[in-house]
Amino acid sequence: MYQKREIADKVFYVGVNDRQKHLFENYLPLPHGVSYNSYLIVDEKVALLDTVDLSFSDHFISQIESLLNGRPVDFLVVHHMEPDHAGSIRLLKTRYPQMKLVGNKKTFDFLKGYFNIDADLIEVAEGDSLSLGKKKLVFYMAPMVHWPEVMVSYEPESQTLFSADAFGTFGALNGSCFDDELNLDFFWDEMRRYYACIVGKFGMPVQNALKKLSALPIKTICSLHGPVWRAQLEKVVALYDRWSRYETEPGVVIPFGSMYGNTQTLAEAVAEGVVAGGLQNVVIHNVSKTDASFILADIFKYNGLIVGSPTYMGEAYPLVDALLTKIKERGVKHHVYSCFGSYSWATGAVKRMTEFAEAMKWEVVGAPVDNKFAPTEDALQKCFQLGKEVAQACLKMKE
């Protein structure tokens, strides 16, 4: 370790950066990498808070040993059992056999299932605390943010919240772990993409956790991914509050599939109509080129969604259909919606996309366009009008 990264008195960052993995959870692109964060409290007793992906265990353990100078780890607090954070537990238990594992009842079910560990356990529940000497940790349960065993802990002396995956973001840490020492430009978009893809389904549990923790005086938030938040606390909490309420800003996302260019031509006309309707925030995504995670991130940002698809075997284009499924899985709310499509010998896509809106309990704005063969001037004008009406509805929604 080149320098001690001290978050507060006796509280240290011992996380690692992953600049090798292409896909998070083997399906979400990582253009900026990702960090796996872990924290060490060195008091009369030593507590390690979470571990890292097993492939980075050597560097991880070397950081711990550099700080401890031969002292053992007394407690390992397990906030979240997903393997990118729990992957090194078995190895650490071998290195520090006397180490006690601290978690809740559900944590221990996961420990047994993943690592066959069922001894040296300290079970905690809501409001319980663990004394480390001058410092202590107070535990709060946060189920389904975003796994059922998730909990967070609070260190009152430094007013530090160890928040598990909450307030996390994609992106490796470039030279520092602190938000006020980093260029955060790309982190804000990556934080929204992380929320949309990982946490987005669980808006109500996030709201419950925010309410539960709102009475705590917090100076620092230590998430398991991304920066340590201290200068931007109000912003990151406000973002999580906003996203978990499915609140958006005026703008329209236009994801489309197109095999031979006809549906894309319709999409361009829709976008022109959106701008004519008074909105500058319009984003067009080709689902065959843009990973769905980036589209979902934009859907969580803007309140308008107009989906385009050709009919494919009597249904929506496969990648469009997959996107609709991802939106439905996340329970996205409060959107202005419409759709358009094209076909040659049999229709079906527009029907599927309209049924999707009904299942989501979204109102369809305007008249969906379903064009046969190459786009006609009439079809393009209808798409233009559709975009204009959706834009006006998006603006009215925020009045």
What is the pLDDT, as a whole number, of residue 54? 97
Structure confidence at residue 182 as a pLDDT band (50, 70, 90): very high
How far is it, in rounded angstroms, from Cα 305 to Cα 368? 12
Using CB atoms within 10 A of its CB, is residue 98 exposed (0-12), middle (13-18) or buried (19+)?
exposed
- Mean pLDDT, rounded, for 306-321: 98
3-class SS of residue 157: coil
CATH topology of domain 252-392: Rossmann fold (3.40.50)
Give the start-to-end residue ranges of the domains of the chain. 6-244, 252-392
Amino acid at 45: K
Q: What is the DSSP letter of 135?
A: -
Residue 210 has what pLDDT?
A: 98
Rounded-to-integer distance, Cα 125 and Cα 103, Å: 8
Cα dist from 139 to 45, 83, 192, 194, whole Å: 17, 21, 26, 25
* pLDDT value, residue 104: 98
Q: Which residue has the tokens 């919240």?
A: 161
Beta bridge partners, 27, equal none
Which string of b and e fits 280-313 if b means at least 16 CB within 10 Å?
ebbbbbbbeebbbbbbbbbbbbbbbbbbbbbbbe
Question: What's the CA gap between 371 and 296, in Å, rounded?
Answer: 26
Report the relative pairing of strands 151-155 and 160-162 from DSSP bridges.
antiparallel
Query: Which pLDDT belongs to residue 116?
Result: 96
How far apart, in whole angstroms, are the C-alpha atoms of residue 296 and residue 170?
A: 15
Percent of all residues in the chain with a pLDDT value above 90, rounded to a whole number: 98
**CA-closest candidate to residue 308, choices 340, 262, 272:** 340
What is the distance between the alpha carbons of residues 262 and 146, in angstroms, rounded to a whole number? 40
Please choose, from the candidates 69, 97, 75, 84, the residue with its C-alpha nearest in 3D space to the C-alpha of residue 37. 84
Encode pLDDT of 146-170 as tens digits: 999 999 999 999 999 999 999 999 9
Residue 4: predicted pLDDT:
82
Parallel, antiparallel, or unpaired for β 228-229 and 220-222?
Answer: antiparallel
**Is pLDDT above 90 for 367?**
yes
321-350 tens-digit pLDDT: 999 999 999 999 999 999 999 999 999 999
Instruction: Give the C-alpha separation, 168 to 28, whole Å.
Output: 15
pLDDT digits (tens, 9 = 90+) for 377-391: 999 999 999 999 999
> Half-sphere exposure (CA, 13 Å, Cβ side) for 94?
7
* pLDDT at site 309: 98
Per-residue pLDDT reduced to its tens digit, 237-271: 999 999 999 999 999 999 999 999 999 999 999 99
CB 50 within 8 A of CB 166: no
Tell me what pLDDT residue 3 has: 74
pLDDT tens-digit readout, 262-302: 999 999 999 999 999 999 999 999 999 999 999 999 999 99
Q: What is the mean pLDDT of the chain?
A: 97
Interacting residues of 82 by C-beta distance below 8 A, sequence separation 6+: 147, 165
Q: Which CATH class is domain 6-244?
A: alpha beta
Average pLDDT over residues 28-48: 98
pLDDT of residue 399: 59
Q: How far apart are CA 205 and CA 145, in angstroms?
A: 6
Q: How far apart are CA 55 and CA 71, in angstroms?
A: 24
Question: HSE (CB half, 13 Å, CA atoms) of 329?
Answer: 12
- Residue 173: band (very low, low, confident or very high) from pLDDT cuts 50, 70, 90: very high
Say whether pLDDT at 175 is over 90: yes
Share of the chain above pLDDT 70, in %: 99
Structural contact between residues 331 and 201, judged by C-beta atoms closer than 8 angstroms: yes
State pLDDT tens for residues 344-361: 999 999 999 999 999 999
Instruction: Identify the pLDDT of residue 118.
Output: 96
- pLDDT at residue 2, as a whole number: 57
The per-residue pLDDT for range 76-125, each reduced to its tens digit, is 999 999 999 999 999 999 999 999 999 999 999 999 999 999 999 999 99
